[in-house]
Amino acid sequence: MPKRLFTLVILWLALVSFPANARPADLSIAIGKSFPAIDTLADIEEHDADARACLHGLCWPRTEFSAEVETPLQGRGDALVRFPSPVTTGSDKNDRVAMQWYAARDEQGHATKAPAIIVVHESGSGMTVGQLMAKGLRNQGFHTFMIQLPGYGLRKEGSRKTDGDLFLLRIKQSIADVRRARDAVAALPLVDADHIAVQGTSLGGFVASDAAALDSGFDSVFLLLSGGDITDILQHGERESAEVRKKLEASGFGGDQLPKLVNPIEPLRIAHRLNPQRTWLYSGIYDNVVPLKNGIALAEAAQLAPEHHIRMSANHYSGVIYIPYVLNHIREGIEASIRVD
């Protein structure tokens, strides 16, 4: 992605997002406190045997837990939210989820009550697009929570090698973390829990689609540069997809082993459980990382109407120029859903 193009989008967000008198959101009512939460993951009700088997592999026993709010990392939101992952990997560092909270503000810059969006970042180590989306959606009037996926940010472990088995475990953990994040967010002050959405980009889109398909926990779902048939994407996709393929092949998960590895997390197995009236997919026509055909496959599996599958004249990187449009479109989609409710 051209640096100049990315810089222009960031500048646009900076110019239109913050009034001259804006100041940091005051979350003193939350920082330093712990808020009790409970898993609301619904019982599995699924007639299709394959989908039911997939769901059993992704769900976890419901329990009570706590969402703890801490002071933010410098330049990374207004607060930091921590809670235990429902899936354990044997690492205390990785198994404690971290979310960057960007608080919705009123015209005076004070934190205010508003709906929330869980933002799931892309595969880049800097989580740059995820943070860009979180900031942009906050500026659309929502509380946003950019969740740091396993192995990223505060959960990163420098000495742990990622092999095929750990890859699968971390994706399963990511899906569970995103769904539990919904319940952690619902327990926080200022969050209007009547509408909590999820937005995911690229890798985050795969995770978000599976997390949203577990049950009806999320009120709206927005998937950017994502799709279905992970095996096909890894076998034929370029750039990031090719890099993942090489790493998996090096650890013995190439050829016939690849479909067996990724089948437990394949979105197409459960995409029919997404609400087609409240799910939107944004695909790049010239995307060579997650090709358009894979976006179409997911849209068809989820039975999305044409107006819910937006096709952008872009590839996986130049799609950044559409972010201002996507941000506005997400706000309009949530507002429409709230009016229906």
Which of the four pLDDT bands, split at 50, 70 and 90, describes residue 166? confident
Give the angle subtended at the CA of 19 by the CAs of 13 and 23, to the nearest 5°.
105
Q: What is the band of 21 on the pLDDT scale with cuts at 50, 70, 90?
A: very low
* DSSP conformational letter for 111: B
Determine how many CB atoms are found less than 10 A away from the CB of residue 51: 18
pLDDT, tens digit, for every residue of 262-300?
999 999 999 999 999 999 999 999 999 999 999 999 999
pLDDT digits (tens, 9 = 90+) for 96-149: 999 999 999 998 889 999 999 999 999 988 999 999 999 999 999 999 999 999
Weakest-pLDDT range from 105-109, 182-186, 235-239, 298-302 = 235-239
Please report where in the chains the tokens 């329990």 appear, as a residue. 63
Where are any strands of DSSP class E within 24-89?
A: 34-38, 64-70, 79-84
Q: Give the domain range for residue 260.
A: 3-340
CATH number at residue 207: 3.40.50.1820
The gap from C-alpha 80 to its chain's centroid, in whole angstroms, comes to: 17
Encoded tokens for 207:
């995770």
pTM: 0.93
Amino acid at the residue 296: I
8 Å CB contact between 191 and 216: no
Please tell me whether residue 110 adopts helix, strand or coil conformation.
Answer: coil
> Quick one: tokens of 14?
């900076």
What is the DSSP annotation of 265-284? Answer: G-GGGTGGGS-TTSEEEEEE
Token code pair at residue 117:
């969006």
Residues in the chain: 341
Number of domains in the chain: 1
CA distance 121 to 129: 7
Model pLDDT for residues 83-103, shown as the tens digit of each residue: 999 999 989 999 999 999 999
Instruction: Read off the pLDDT band of 192 (50, 70, 90).
Output: very high
Could you give the CA distance from residue 172 to residue 49 in angstroms, rounded to a whole number?
20
- Model confidence at 1, in pLDDT bands (50, 70, 90)? very low
Alpha-carbon span 243 to 203, nearest angstrom: 13
Beta strand 279-284 with 309-312 is: parallel
3 state SS of 238: coil
